[in-house]
Structure 1
Amino acid sequence: MKVRHAVHQDIPKIAEIHVKSWQTTYQGIISQEYLDGLTIEDREESWRRRPLEGTFVAEDADGVFGFASFGKQRDERYSTYDGELYAIYLLQQKQKSGAGIALIAKGVEYLIEKGYQKLMLWVFEQNSAKQFY
């Protein structure tokens, strides 16, 4: 398994992981109607409109199976923090493999290189993976 910067060719797989992870991770937390309405095509279009700087993918011999995205903190109410983990998702079958920690480490390294000092993230209270963070 390796972690690297995402490139535009990764966008279709990132979009797939994003949708599939939401549908498994947030089942029972977010309305099923909303989760069922998520499409890979819509998510792919969203990813194509944003820069990939600060976005990393985890891959193995089977290909990309996870991603994380980091950058400048976006909520003015929390000015104590300057960096943010925007998203981290892995396909369900690859979770608990060490890839999440590797993605976080790469993102933190990136933020430090950019001069950020304090990182924040948002986690649903009911998210079963919140202990990971």
Structure 2
Amino acid sequence: MIRIATLDDIPVIQEIAYQTWPSTYGGIISEEQIRYMLDLMYSTESLVQQMSKGHQFFLMEKDNNQVADTAISGFASVSDEGNGIFKLNKLYVLPTAHKTGTGKALLNTVKAYATQNGGKELILQVNKQNPAIAFYKSQGLIIKSENIFELDHGFVMDDYEMSLPLT
């Protein structure tokens, strides 16, 4: 079952991020950059700010009576960027839930949310070496452009922008 996340769900979002980032990015960016990015995007203050700015977070919750912290297997967030463009900001699934349909279900929920809110296009940024690119391509997204973003402390994000028409 997919449900909308609330401020009370921030700890579980953080837990999934801290479990998925090292396995996703460990061979791509340095441990120092992983720590920096996690703090930048997943601190409680940052997540509260994202939610208050209208980023919609969705959680994949198992349909059973497990303890809440272990019942969430993934999350996604999407924001309205204006002019019919919605951005998938985050989509992370615990390694134990890969290849279970969790990522596809979360992406479909994001697409439906964007469409229901007037979205014409869904975009996302993904590291050029992220294995999730194959998943996104399998879901119909195409590479639209390449971008390098300079961050503090000399870190960079070397990303593709991918796109999917929603109409």
Q: 43-52 or 90-99, which moves further after superposition?
A: 43-52
- In the TM superposition, residue 36 of structure 1 has moved relative to its aligned partner by 4.8
Structure 2 residue aligned with 1:70: 78
TM-score (norm 1): 0.83
TM-score (norm 2): 0.67
- In the TM superposition, residue 119 of structure 1 has moved relative to its aligned partner by 0.8
C-alpha separation in 2, matches of 1:87 and 1:20: 14
Runs of 4+ in structure 1 over 2 Å off:
33-39, 42-45
Structure 1 residue aligned with 2:61: 59
Q: Provide the secondary structure at the position in 2 that maps to 1:50.
A: helix
Identical-pair percentage: 34
> Contact 1:23–1:36 (CA<8 Å) still a contact in 2?
no
C-alpha separation in 1, matches of 2:75 and 2:35: 21
The structure having more radius of gyration, on CA atoms, is 2
Q: Provide the secondary structure at the position in 1 that maps to 2:125.
A: coil
Q: Deviations over 1:14-47 (max 9, x none)?
A: 01112221111001111122225646xx623321
Q: Deviations over 1:26-71 (max 9, x none)?
A: 01111122225646xx623321222165210001134112100011
Of the three residues 123, 127, 130, the one matched with 1:127 is 130
Instruction: Give the counterpart letter for 1:27 in structure 2.
Output: G
Q: For this pair of structures, how many residues does the alignment match?
A: 125
- In the TM superposition, residue 95 of structure 1 has moved relative to its aligned partner by 1.3
> Contact 2:73–2:102 (CA<8 Å) still a contact in 1?
no
Change (3 A) 1:36 1:83: closer
Instruction: Give the counterpart letter for 1:30 in structure 2.
Output: I
Compare relative contact order (CA 8 Å, sep 6+) and give the higher one, 1 or 2. Answer: 1
